[in-house]
Amino acid sequence: MGMKGILRVVPKEEYLLPGNPSCPGCPASLGLRYLLKALGGKAILVIPASCTSIIVGPYPFSSLRVPVLNIAFAAAASTAAGISEALKVKGKEGIQVVVWAGDGGTADIGLQALSGAAERNSDILYVCYDNEAYMNTGIQRSSLTPYGAWTTTTPKGKVEEKKNLPMIVAEHKVPYVATASVGYPIDLILKVRKAIKYRGFKYIHLHAPCPYGWRFPANKTVEVAKLAVKTGIWVLYEIENGKFRLTSLSSSLIDPSKRLPVNKYLKLQGRFKHLSEEDISRIQERVNTMWDELMRLVKES
Amino acid sequence: MRVITPIAKPKEGSAGLTGKWRIFKPVINYSKCNNCGLCWLYCPEAAITLDGKNVPKIVYEYCKGCGICANECPVRAIDLIKEE
């Protein structure tokens, strides 16, 4: 799209400051950088225990140019809902309260607070950056770790499937739910801007490939993120007031022949290197079935 | 009574000069660079800045050398050189 096209969507202003403690090639850094650009820095971040608790910086310094509240694992969504109510009482407009939580803080430990805030339709934006395991504590599996993936607690590969969290949140009938990927920043930024136009509960599920935890070189973060979308393993979509729509590259992948074979994505990552041919064809089959279901959603909307 | 609240202040280099972590140094070959902006867009560290003419410049004090810029550059204008 070229420099002009990029700058039309992505502001030059930076809110994530360089020299922070994130690992080289960190997807959380990428996601935070895009999120805060999209919000123009007009946000209060609530961050439960996660890698980002480290990235925001060692006291007395912060690496973010927005207020951040570090909070206990289970409490992110309820805390954000409280801050949002407080801002309303104080008559402060135009400041978005945002939860920025990992997959563990969202799908496992934070799920009840998330579900509660969604059901009450609290006026917050919840962003889950999904690196598919507990990376900060040493790569333990979460309910968002995909089938077959190695982690330190699934040494032979996970035997269960990945929880379909965005659809679970969508079933709360909230105004806006979307998926995104750090490999597609323009799509992510447009979704954030669209989300904050709604009053009520907004949810964005951000796919975030982690070089350290997924065992691929740090220079491949964006490449792996893009391959997840190109193979159809990760799907970019949004659900606005119940209306489902595929976005960005995913909207051109309904025809199965347009999708790359899943192995192109899997073989780049050390966490999948033990997979047998049988495992790989099982993953491929799951992806095909998932797309059949997505087709149905596209037709219904 | 004075209440002391632990509030951290924003600062570049909150973890120090993270450029010291680098093993490979990305160097932009400006004769090849076509100013597409992708290295700037995909830098996780915000360690690539754009000047007034939107020419990318790497901030070596903080660049951790992940190499995403070189990997994503469509015209291969960024070389990774091993640090001494």
In a domain, B55, yes or no: yes
Chain B residues within 8 A of A33 when measuring between CB atoms: 44, 46
pLDDT of B4 strictly over 90: no
pLDDT of A34 strictly over 80: yes
Q: How far is the alpha carbon of B78 from chain A, nearest alpha carbon, in Å?
A: 12
pLDDT digits (tens, 9 = 90+) for A193-207: 999 999 999 999 999
Region A80-103: mean pLDDT is 97
Region B59-74: mean pLDDT is 98
Question: What total number of domains does chain A contain?
Answer: 1
For A147, the token pair is: 């089938």
The Cα B55–Cα B52 span in angstroms is 7
Q: In the predicted model, what is the mean pLDDT of chain B? A: 95
pLDDT of A122 strictly over 80: yes
CATH for B59: 3.30.70.20
pLDDT of B6 strictly over 90: no
In a domain, B52, yes or no: yes
In a domain, B12, yes or no: no
DSSP structure class, residue A134: B
pLDDT of A57 strictly over 90: no
Q: Which band of pLDDT confidence, cut at 50, 70 and 90, is reported for residue A59?
A: confident
Beta strand residue intervals within B1-84, DSSP E: 9-10, 24-28, 48-50, 56-58, 78-82
pLDDT digits (tens, 9 = 90+) for A210-219: 999 999 999 9
Q: Which band of pLDDT confidence, cut at 50, 70 and 90, is reported for residue B2?
A: confident
pLDDT digits (tens, 9 = 90+) for A263-295: 999 999 999 999 999 999 999 999 999 999 999
Question: What total number of domains does chain B contain?
Answer: 1
Strand partners, A87: none
Domain residues for the domain of A97 are: 2-300
For A106, the token pair is: 């969202």
The verdict on a CB contact (< 8 Å) between B8 and A60 is: yes
DSSP structure class, residue A62: E
Q: Touching check for A14 and chain B: CB below 8 Å?
A: yes
The verdict on a CB contact (< 8 Å) between A19 and B41 is: no
Closest of A218, A224, A293 to residue A260, by C-alpha? A224
Q: Note the pLDDT of residue A301.
A: 82
pLDDT more than 70, % of chain A: 100
Contact A180, A205 (CB under 8 A): yes
For B9, the token pair is: 């202040």
Domain residues for the domain of B50 are: 29-82
Q: How far is the alpha carbon of A91 from chain B, nearest alpha carbon, in Å?
A: 24
CATH for A190: 3.40.50.970
In DSSP notation, A93-124 reads -S-EEEEEEEHIIIIITTHHHHHHHHHTT-S-
CA atoms within 13 A on the CB side of B46: 26
For A193, the token pair is: 């801007």
Chain B residues within 8 A of A220 when measuring between CB atoms: 71
pLDDT digits (tens, 9 = 90+) for A144-156: 999 999 999 999 9
pLDDT more than 90, % of chain A: 97
The Cα A225–Cα A241 span in angstroms is 27
Chain A residues within 8 A of B64 when measuring between CB atoms: 23-25
Q: In the predicted model, what is the mean pLDDT of chain A? A: 96
The verdict on a CB contact (< 8 Å) between A62 and B67 is: no
The verdict on a CB contact (< 8 Å) between A25 and B44 is: yes
Q: Touching check for A57 and chain B: CB below 8 Å?
A: yes
Chain A residues within 8 A of B12 when measuring between CB atoms: 17-19
pLDDT digits (tens, 9 = 90+) for A7-23: 999 999 999 999 999 99
